[in-house]
């Protein structure tokens, strides 16, 4: 008979499992692309995407730190005059880059200057590059495999089933009906939906700046596990989302993205010659837009206020997703399920007391150490 320790070792997750799974997925990429006549190439927009992700991450980390960490405003109040040149810098950036991009650059620039002023740990900051690059690489792999699956499966095959399930769960209501009654909230919904990258990046920064890059890798590994699980489910239950039956007003950015997603999926499914795939993520079930910030909130729980803010973001994200017609309600339920599985798979389901004993991040954060150590 197996000993108790052997049974425990078998049941408990391997914290390095996600590395092995990612390696296997990467090894399968070339054969899968050859089978479906897809060329592997670096996307032309990758640099712009990564730059935007970095800026968004810095902004979210700064906001979460100022709001969620006790005593974070003391440094600003003690020497408020340094904000003046920062405002001048922001004005110049707004003139050059416009309001939307300018706000991103200005806040990220001011946060970087504050990090320097407060004698932040640049060595700890550099440790964030590896988990961040690991997550970015894994997401690129997932995007390619999404294109591979769409090349062999119609990605709208199960949309009607999910729509019927939704109608049953919501007592006759539909996502499209909810969306059409929420026109005044379209703008807020888009902001919430497209902020998810910043939340993920901010979580990486928090963990690495507290000296816990190992946990940052585990969090990123958990997020990647949700991608791999969702792709597996997508292969058997392909669906793209409620928007294929109705759609949003054309003036919204999301409407353009959704039309391109539907068109690209059609191109991939019908292509017969070698093509360079237009990378996109065509998966409706489960919703990773819910799963990812939930995982981030879990791994940030040693900063209780920060985790609470991210948790509130997760709650607000649910109606935003439905309003924008990206997912069915059943997709969101599925997203929560794969998030729980992913957290367990990377050994993240430790008790709160154990996580506080193993990491010094909470003590550092409470004394302002997340930005200056």
Domain end marker among 95, 118, 141: 118
Residue 337 CB neighbours (<10 A): 14
pLDDT at 125: 87
Residue 125 CB neighbours (<10 A): 15
pLDDT at 15: 74
Domain end marker among 118, 142, 165: 118
Residue 314 CB neighbours (<10 A): 22
Tokens 């799963």 belong to which residue? 291
**Is residue 182 located within the same domain as residue 297?**
yes
Confirm whether 14 is domain-assigned: no
**Is residue 155 located within the same domain as residue 295?**
yes
Q: Name the pTM for this structure.
A: 0.87
**Is residue 65 located within the same domain as residue 158?**
no
Domain end marker among 80, 98, 118: 118
**Is residue 82 located within the same domain as residue 164?**
no
**Is residue 205 located within the same domain as residue 284?**
yes
Domain count, the chain: 2
Q: What angle do CA 305, 307, 313 make, to 5 degrees?
A: 105
Confirm whether 222 is domain-assigned: yes
Helix axes 17-35, 129-152, angle to 10 degrees: 40
- Across the strands, what pairs with 125? none
The CB-based long-range contact list for 78-86 (8 Å cut-off, 24+ gap) reads 82/117, 86/110, 86/113
Confirm whether 33 is domain-assigned: no
Confirm whether 42 is domain-assigned: no
**Is residue 151 located within the same domain as residue 69?**
no
pLDDT at 364: 37
Residue 183 CB neighbours (<10 A): 11
Per-residue pLDDT of the chain (373 residues; tens, 9 = 90+): 445 455 445 445 567 889 999 999 999 999 999 999 999 888 888 888 888 899 899 999 998 998 888 877 666 666 666 666 666 666 666 666 666 677 777 778 778 877 877 777 888 889 999 999 999 999 999 999 999 999 999 999 999 999 999 999 999 899 999 999 999 999 999 999 999 999 999 999 999 999 999 999 999 999 999 999 999 999 999 999 999 988 889 899 999 999 999 999 999 999 889 998 888 899 999 999 999 999 999 999 999 999 999 999 999 999 999 999 999 999 999 999 999 999 999 886 554 434 443 333 433 333 333 333 3
Continuous segment of H or E residues that includes residue 101: helix 99-117
pLDDT at 365: 39
- DSSP letter, residue 275: B
Tokens 């399930």 belong to which residue? 165
Confirm whether 10 is domain-assigned: no
Select from 60, 319, 266 the least CA-distant residue to 151.
266
Confirm whether 233 is domain-assigned: yes
**Is residue 292 located within the same domain as residue 373?**
yes
**Is residue 98 located within the same domain as residue 161?**
no
pLDDT at 142: 96
pLDDT at 269: 94
**Is residue 321 located within the same domain as residue 355?**
yes
Confirm whether 172 is domain-assigned: yes
pLDDT at 43: 81
pLDDT at 367: 34
What CA–CA distance (Å, rounded) separates 161 from 309? 35
**Is residue 132 located within the same domain as residue 97?**
no
Does residue 286 have a cis peptide bond before it, meaning omega lies within 30 degrees of 0? yes
Q: Write phi, then psi, for 352 (nearest 5 degrees).
A: -60, -40
**Is residue 154 located within the same domain as residue 295?**
yes
**Three-state SS annotation for 353-364:** HHHHHHCCHHHH
User: Which structural domain range is residue 201 located in?
Assistant: 122-373
Helix axes 213-236, 17-35, angle to 10 degrees: 40
**Is residue 154 located within the same domain as residue 106?**
no
Confirm whether 5 is domain-assigned: no
């Amino acid at each position: 008979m197996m000993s108790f320790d052997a049974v425990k070792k078998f049941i408990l997750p391997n914290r390095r499992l996600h590395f092995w799974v990612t390696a296997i997925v990467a090894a399968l990429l070339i054969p899968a692309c050859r089978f479906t006549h897809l060329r592997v190439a670096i996307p032309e927009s990758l640099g712009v995407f990564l730059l935007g992700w970095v800026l968004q991450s810095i902004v979210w980390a700064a906001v979460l730190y100022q709001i969620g960490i006790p005593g974070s405003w003391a440094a600003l109040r003690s020497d408020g005059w340094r904000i003046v040149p920062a405002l001048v810098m922001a004005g110049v950036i707004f003139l050059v880059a416009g309001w939307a991009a300018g706000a991103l650059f200005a806040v990220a620039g001011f946060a970087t200057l504050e990090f320097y002023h407060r004698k932040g740990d640049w060595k700890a900051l550099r440790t964030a590059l590896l988990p961040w690059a690991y997550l970015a690489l894994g997401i690129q792999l997932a995007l390619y495999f999404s294109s591979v699956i769409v090349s062999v499966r119609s990605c709208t095959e199960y949309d009607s089933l999910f729509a019927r399930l939704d109608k049953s769960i919501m007592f006759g209501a539909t996502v499209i009906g909810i969306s059409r009654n929420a026109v005044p909230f379209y703008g807020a919904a888009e902001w919430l939906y497209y902020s998810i990258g910043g939340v993920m990046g901010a979580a990486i920064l928090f963990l690495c700046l507290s000296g816990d890059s190992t946990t940052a890798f585990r969090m990123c590994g958990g997020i990647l596990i949700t991608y791999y699980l969702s792709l597996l489910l997508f292969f058997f239950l392909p669906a793209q989302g409620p928007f294929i039956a109705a759609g949003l007003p054309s003036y919204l950015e999301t409407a353009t993205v959704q039309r391109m997603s539907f068109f690209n999926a059609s191109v991939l499914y019908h292509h017969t010659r070698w093509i360079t795939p237009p990378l996109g993520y065509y998966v409706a079930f489960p919703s990773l837009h819910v799963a990812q910030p939930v995982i981030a909130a879990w791994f940030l729980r040693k900063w209780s206020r920060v985790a609470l803010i991210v948790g509130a973001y997760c709650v607000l994200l649910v109606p935003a997703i439905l309003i924008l017609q990206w997912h069915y309600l059943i997709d969101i339920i599925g997203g929560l399920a794969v998030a729980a599985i992913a957290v367990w798979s990377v050994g993240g389901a430790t008790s709160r007391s154990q996580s506080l004993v193993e990491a010094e991040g909470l003590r550092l954060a409470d004394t302002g150490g997340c930005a200056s150590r």
